[in-house]
């Protein structure tokens, strides 16, 4: 079985600025991938390369097992069998909802087209909107029309560019879950570009983290969070702080908040200077703990407080604490370390 989409060392530059640098990944069929990264990191360009709107200066792209970047013949967008949904939906303002959805079907008046339309209208709960024009719809409805239109010709690969960006926060996660079910049911291989981690976590089987044109890691959400391959990924995914330490054994690192023990060997040599990633959920609040830290900031998050703490040794820490533990600024509270995955990086000089 070939992969749905594969890129090999794709690079592209505009005006001497590297937009994509040596990007390689494989998306297995019927999997959902999300490309995550800050704005301007090249994720939309990567998506447009897969769609065929941009052409890499070097490297190769296969879509549905066909080489799309043959130097003699670049496969045209309309021949790649990919559906794409744009961030602003790009609905056709002169066509009704129904006409928008069937736009990509070969014979738009056939019975097949009619039944496909009905199927999509009911799937996206748009039956009553079929004759309206885009400007008469709400944002959520427009988004659903855009996805329905992209899905109508049954593309084998679906590309989504920030599909939830223009929606209210409350709608986003719900729609992400609904969309995931639809895509999974029809086994549509999907690449979604996003800058929102929660959306990506809710939708994707696999996530690619990008920064400054480079694909840093292509992995599951769990691994990105708990086993980041480099410091940038650790920085970009989730919250956390780095604290300096010194390796004292194959599994243990000495830091100013005590010796931290790992279940798995970390491959550093004894006496190496390292940085250790501490996530907010690694630090538990325990009133009885002898180890104390001072509250220097706190942010209410509903069920939890995110406390920013300073340890006795001066290290900054983050801790997620159930919100009934409401402590004052500068109060010393008890903390306990509970680290399952020790994430160790070589010491960065400027830290």
Partner 1 sequence: MFYLISQHDRAFSDQTRIEYGKLFRRFVLTLITLLFCVPLLFVFGSLFFSAGDIWVHLFDTVLKDYVANSIILTLGVGLCSLFLGVVPAWLVTMYRFPFSRLLEWALLLPMAMPAYIIAYSYTGFLDVAGPMQTTLRELTGLNYREYWFPEVRSLGGAIMMLSLVLYPYVYLLSRAAFIEQSVCVLEVSRTLGCNSREAFLRVALPLARPAIVVGLSLVMMETLADYGTVQYFSVSVFTTGIFRIWFGMGESVAAAQLSAVLLLFVAVLLYLERRSRRMARYHHTSSRYSQLLQKPLHGMPAFVSLLICGLPVLLGFILPFILLVNWALSTYSKVIDSEFYKLLMHSFLLALVTSMIAIFIALMMAYSNRMKATRLNKFIVSTVSMGYAIPGTVIGVGALIPFAWFDNTLDKFLYDNFGISSGLLVSGTLFTLVFAYLVRFLAISINTTEAALGKIKLVMDEVAKTAGLSVFNMIKSIHIPMMKGSLLTAILLVFVDVMKELPATLILRPFNFNTLAVKAHELANEELLAEAAVPALAIVLTGIIPVILISRSISQSRAGNA
Q: Distance (Å, rounded) from C-alpha 51 to C-alpha 261?
A: 47
Q: Which residues pair with 335 in a beta bridge?
A: 285
Q: Decide: is 17 part of the binding site for partner 1 (CB under 8 A).
A: no
Q: What is the DSSP letter of 268?
A: P
**Binding-residue total with partner 1 (CB under 8 A):** 27
Tell me the closest approach of the beta carbon of residue 149 to partner 1, in angstroms.
7
The H-assigned helical ranges of 154-242 are 169-185, 197-203, 221-226, 231-236
Tell me the closest approach of the beta carbon of residue 316 to partner 1, in angstroms.
39
Q: What angle do CA 74, 102, 180 make, to 5 degrees?
A: 80
Among 76, 111, 169, 303, binds partner 1 (CB under 8 A): 76
Say how many CA atoms lie within 13 Å of 30 toward its Cβ: 7
Stretch that binds partner 1, among 152-160, 250-258, 321-329, 339-347 (CB under 8 A): 152-160
Collapse the DSSP code of 223 into the 3-class scheme (helix H, G, I; strand E, B; otherwise coil) and give the result: helix
The residue to which tokens 């630090």 are assigned: 283
Tell me the closest approach of the beta carbon of residue 65 to partner 1, in angstroms.
19
Q: Distance (Å, rounded) from C-alpha 216 to C-alpha 71?
A: 27
Tell me the closest approach of the beta carbon of residue 80 to partner 1, in angstroms.
8
Q: Distance (Å, rounded) from C-alpha 108 to C-alpha 327?
A: 64
Comparison of 7 and 45: residue with beta carbon closer to partner 1:
45
Stretch that binds partner 1, among 56-64, 151-159, 181-189, 323-331 (CB under 8 A): 151-159
Tell me the closest approach of the beta carbon of residue 7 to partner 1, in angstroms.
18
Q: Distance (Å, rounded) from C-alpha 284 to C-alpha 296?
A: 16
Comparison of 139 and 322: residue with beta carbon closer to partner 1:
139
Collapse the DSSP code of 351 into the 3-class scheme (helix H, G, I; strand E, B; otherwise coil) and give the result: coil
Comparison of 163 and 240: residue with beta carbon closer to partner 1:
163
Q: Decide: is 149 part of the binding site for partner 1 (CB under 8 A).
A: yes
Q: Distance (Å, rounded) from C-alpha 135 to C-alpha 112?
A: 28
Q: Give residues 79-118 in contact with partner 1 (rule: CB under 8 A).
A: 82-84, 86-90, 92-94, 103-104, 106
Tell me the closest approach of the beta carbon of residue 313 to partner 1, in angstroms.
49
Q: Give residues 253-282 in contact with partner 1 (rule: CB under 8 A).
A: none
Total residues found in the chain within this entry: 351
Among 153, 223, 304, 341, binds partner 1 (CB under 8 A): 153
> Are 251 and 261 spatial neighbours (Cβ–Cβ below 8 Å)?
yes
* R_g over Cα of the chain: 24
Q: Decide: is 154 part of the binding site for partner 1 (CB under 8 A).
A: no
Q: Which residues bind partner 1 (CB under 8 A)?
A: 51-53, 76-78, 82-84, 86-90, 92-94, 103-104, 106, 133, 135, 149-150, 153, 155, 159
């Amino acid at each position: 079985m070939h992969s749905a989409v594969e890129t090999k060392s794709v690079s592209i530059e505009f005006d001497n600025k590297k937009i994509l640098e040596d990007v390689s990944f494989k998306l297995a069929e019927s999997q959902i991938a999300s490309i995550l990264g800050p704005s301007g990191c090249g994720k939309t360009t990567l998506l447009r390369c897969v769609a065929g709107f941009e052409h890499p200066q070097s490297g190769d792209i296969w879509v549905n097992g066909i080489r799309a970047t043959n130097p003699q013949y670049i496969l045209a967008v309309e021949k790649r069998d990919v559906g794409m949904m744009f961030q602003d939906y790009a609905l056709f303002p002169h066509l009704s909802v129904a006409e928008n959805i069937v736009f990509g079907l070969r014979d738009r008046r056939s019975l097949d087209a009619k039944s496909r339309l009905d199927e999509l209208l009911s799937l996206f709960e748009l039956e009553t909107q079929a004759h309206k024009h885009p400007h008469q719809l709400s944002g959520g409805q427009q988004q659903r029309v855009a996805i329905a239109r992209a899905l109508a010709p049954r593309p084998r690969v679906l590309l989504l560019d920030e599909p939830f960006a223009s929606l209210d926060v409350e709608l986003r996660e719900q729609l992400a879950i609904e969309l995931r079910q639809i895509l999974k049911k029809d086994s549509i291989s999907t690449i979604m570009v996003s800058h929102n981690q929660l959306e990506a976590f809710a939708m994707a089987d696999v996530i690619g983290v990008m920064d400054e044109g480079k694909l840093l890691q292509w992995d599951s959400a769990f691994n990105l969070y708990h086993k980041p391959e480099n410091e940038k990924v650790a920085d970009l995914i989730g919250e956390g702080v780095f604290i300096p330490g010194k390796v004292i054994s194959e599994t243990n690192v000495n830091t100013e908040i005590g010796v931290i023990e790992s279940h798995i060997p970390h491959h550093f040599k004894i006496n190496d200077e390292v940085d250790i990633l501490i996530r907010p959920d690694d630090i538990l609040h325990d009133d009885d703990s002898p180890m104390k830290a001072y509250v220097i900031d706190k942010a209410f998050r509903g069920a939890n407080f995110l406390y920013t703490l300073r340890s006795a040794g001066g290290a900054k820490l983050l801790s997620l604490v159930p919100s009934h533990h409401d402590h004052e600024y500068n109060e010393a509270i008890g903390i306990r370390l509970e680290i399952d995955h020790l994430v160790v990086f070589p010491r960065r000089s400027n830290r």
